[in-house]
């Protein structure tokens, strides 16, 4: 399958100022959902861009620095655990994505969002399933979002070492569930998520 032809059929213009958008942290039980928007510089190509989930942490960290130094514009934004509980995870993710695009210091002419939904934006936007494997600007956004979210987990691991956040990144692993049962929920847990709600009921 020719990805370029498929993208052009969807309206992708290689000459346009395109921003890629992706998120990280929809599934975990704690903390914010992160979103990033990136406009890459065609004059400074970045080698090795891929879906962040397919890269090692070391590769992600190296690419994160390279994207930040070479991109024409980028912004990482978030929606908090409180906003997730108020809105639901899908709407909070859309909010974080809107904030990321609005935070760019250059206005893109088109926005490409990983997945099958598009946030409310004032510029033309298109959803692209598996976009983080198809478009470099979305791959770059997926890397910035993932690295930012992992850094957040490492920071709160210092605050709440008994939960093991640096290891499981907030996902509902056995280690995390055991800690929730023993110590209860932190102020950063998503109270609307079933495993957390169940612990709070006890």
Which H or E run contains 36?
A: strand 33-39
Quick check: is 189 in a domain? no
pLDDT mean across residues, the chain: 93
Quick check: is 193 in a domain? no
pLDDT at res. 4: 63
Quick check: is 194 in a domain? no
Q: Is the pLDDT of residue 107 over 90?
A: yes
Angle, in degrees to the nearest 10, between helices 174-183 and 194-201: 30
CATH number, domain with residue 9: 3.30.420.10
Q: Is the pLDDT of residue 181 over 90?
A: yes
Q: Distance (Å, rounded) from C-alpha 12 to C-alpha 45?
A: 18
Q: Considering its fold, how many domains does the chain have in total?
A: 1
Q: Is the pLDDT of residue 157 over 70?
A: yes
Phi, psi (rounded to 5 degrees) for 126: -135, 135
Do the Cβ atoms of 40 and 197 come closer than 8 Å?
no
Do the Cβ atoms of 120 and 88 come closer than 8 Å?
no
Quick check: is 173 in a domain? no
Quick check: is 125 in a domain? yes
pLDDT at res. 7: 73
The whole model's pTM is what?
A: 0.94
Instruction: Tell me the pLDDT tens digit for each residue of 54-69.
Output: 999 999 999 999 999 9
Do the Cβ atoms of 146 and 52 come closer than 8 Å?
yes
- 121: domain range? 3-160
The burial of 105, by beta-carbon neighbours within 10 Å (0-12 exposed, 13-18 middle, 19 or more buried), is given as: exposed
Q: Distance (Å, rounded) from C-alpha 161 to C-alpha 168?
A: 12
Q: Distance (Å, rounded) from C-alpha 67 to C-alpha 49?
A: 9
Quick check: is 47 in a domain? yes
Quick check: is 143 in a domain? yes
Quick check: is 196 in a domain? no
Distance of alpha carbon 195 from the chain centroid:
22
């Amino acid at each position: 399958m020719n990805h370029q032809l498929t993208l052009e059929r969807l309206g992708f213009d290689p000459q346009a100022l395109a921003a890629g958008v992706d998120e990280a942290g929809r599934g975990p039980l704690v903390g914010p959902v992160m979103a990033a928007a990136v406009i890459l510089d065609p004059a400074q190509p970045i080698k090795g861009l891929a879906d962040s989930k397919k890269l090692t942490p070391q590769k992600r960290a190296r690419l994160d620095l390279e994207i930040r130094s070479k991109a024409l514009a980028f912004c990482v934004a978030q929606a908090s655990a409180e906003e997730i509980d108020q809105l639901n995870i899908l709407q909070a993710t859309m909010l974080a994505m809107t904030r990321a695009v609005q935070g760019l210091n250059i206005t893109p002419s088109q926005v490409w969002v990983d997945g099958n939904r598009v946030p409310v934006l004032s510029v033309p936007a298109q959803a692209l399933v598996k976009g983080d494997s198809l478009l470099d600007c979305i791959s770059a956004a997926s890397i910035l979002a993932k690295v930012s979210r992992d850094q957040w987990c490492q920071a709160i691991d210092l605050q709440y070492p008994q939960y093991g956040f640096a290891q499981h990144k907030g996902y509902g692993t056995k280690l995390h569930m055991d800690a929730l049962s023993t110590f209860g929920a932190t102020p950063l847990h998503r109270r609307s998520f079933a495993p957390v709600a169940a612990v709070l009921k006890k």
